[in-house]
Chain A
Amino acid sequence: MSVDKDTVRRIARLARLKLEEDRVEPMVQELNGILAWVEQLKEVDVEGVPPMTSVVKQRLKMREDVVTEPDNADALMANAPGGEDHFFVVPKVVE
Chain B
Amino acid sequence: MSGLTDLTLAEARDAVAAKKVSSSELTEAFLKAMEAARSLNAFITETPERAFEMAAASDKRIAAGNARPLEGLPLAIKDLYCTKGVRTTAGSKILHNYVPQYESTVSQNLWDNGAVMLGKANLDEFAMGSSNETSYFGPCISPWRAKGSDAKLVPGGSSGGSACAVSANLCLGATATDTGGSIRTPAAVTGTTGIKPTYGRCSRWGIVAFASSLDQAGPISHTVRDCAIMLKAMASVDPKDSTSVDLPVPDYEAGLEAGVKGLRIGIPKEYRVEGTSPEIDAIWNKGADWLKAQGAEIVEVSLPHTKYALPTYYIVAPAEASSNLARYDGVRYGHRAEGIEDLIDLYQKSRAEGFGSEVRRRILIGTYVLSAGYYDAYYLRAQKLRSLIARDFTEAFKQCDMLLTPATPGPAFAIGEKISDPVTMYLYDVFTVTVNLAGLPSLVLPAGLTESGLPLGLQFIGKAFDEATLLRAGRALEVAAQFTAKPQPWWRAP
A interface residues with partner B (beta carbon < 8 Å): 1, 3, 7-8, 11-19, 27, 30-31, 33-35, 37-38, 40-42, 44, 46, 49-56, 58, 60-61, 63, 72, 75-76, 78-82, 88-93
Contacts and interface: CB of A to CB of B under 8 A. Distances in A.
Contact of B422 (A11, A33, A51, A80): A33
A52 B391 CA distance: 11
A11 B378 CA distance: 15
A34 B351 CA distance: 22
A75 B103 CA distance: 13
Contacts of B308: 40-41, 44
A7 B368 contact: yes
Given A17-B352, A33-B422, A41-B381, A63 B239 contact: yes
Given A37-B311, A55-B390, A46 B385 contact: yes
Q: Closest 4 CB pairs between A and B?
A: A55-B439, A51-B383, A79-B333, A75-B101
Contact of B200 (A27, A38, A56): A56
B364 A31 contact: yes
**Could you say which of B199, B335, B364, B388 has the most chain A C-beta atoms within 10 Å of its C-beta?**
B364
Given A17-B351, A58-B243, A76-B101, 10 more contacts: A1-B377, A14-B371, A18-B352, A33-B421, A40-B307, A44-B385, A55-B199, A78-B101, A79-B97, A79-B101
B290 interface: no
B336 A31 contact: no
Contact of A78 (B99, B326, B347, B386): B99
Interface stretch (B46-54, B148-156, B226-234, B355-363): B355-363
A43 to B, nearest CB: 8
Nearest to A15: B367
Nearest to B388: A49
A95 to B, nearest CB: 11
Nearest to B311: A38
A73 to B, nearest CB: 11
Given A55-B439, A80-B332, A11 B343 contact: no
Given A1-B377, A11-B364, A44 B352 contact: no
B101 A82 contact: no
B315 A38 contact: yes
Contacts of A61: 242, 246
Contact of A38 (B314, B333, B340, B363): B314
Main SS of the interface on chain A?
A: loop
Contact of A12 (B199, B340, B364, B384): B364
Interface string B324-335: 001001111111
Contacts of A16: 326, 329, 344, 347-348, 351
B480 interface: no
B371 A18 contact: no
A44 B382 CA distance: 10
A1, A16, A79, A89 pick with most chain B CB within 10 angstroms = A16
Nearest to B360: A17
Contacts of B355: 17
Contacts of A55: 199, 213-214, 390, 437-439
A72 B387 contact: no
B60 interface: no
A37 B423 contact: yes
**Of listed B305, B315, B366, B381, residue having the most chain A CB within 10 A:** B381
Contacts of B384: 46, 49-52
Contacts of A13: 348
24 contacts: A11-B368, A15-B363, A15-B366, A17-B360, A17-B363, A33-B422, A34-B361, A37-B314, A37-B423, A38-B378, A41-B311, A41-B315, A41-B382, A55-B199, A55-B214, A56-B199, A58-B243, A76-B101, A78-B99, A79-B333, A80-B331, A81-B331, A88-B332, A90-B343
B380 A51 contact: yes
Nearest to B316: A52
Among A1, A55, A89, max chain B CB count under 10 A is at A55
A81 B243 contact: no
B274 interface: no
Contacts of A3: 368
A38 B390 CA distance: 19
A81 B462 CA distance: 45
Nearest to A59: B242
A38 to B, nearest CB: 4
A41 to B, nearest CB: 5
A26 B200 CA distance: 39
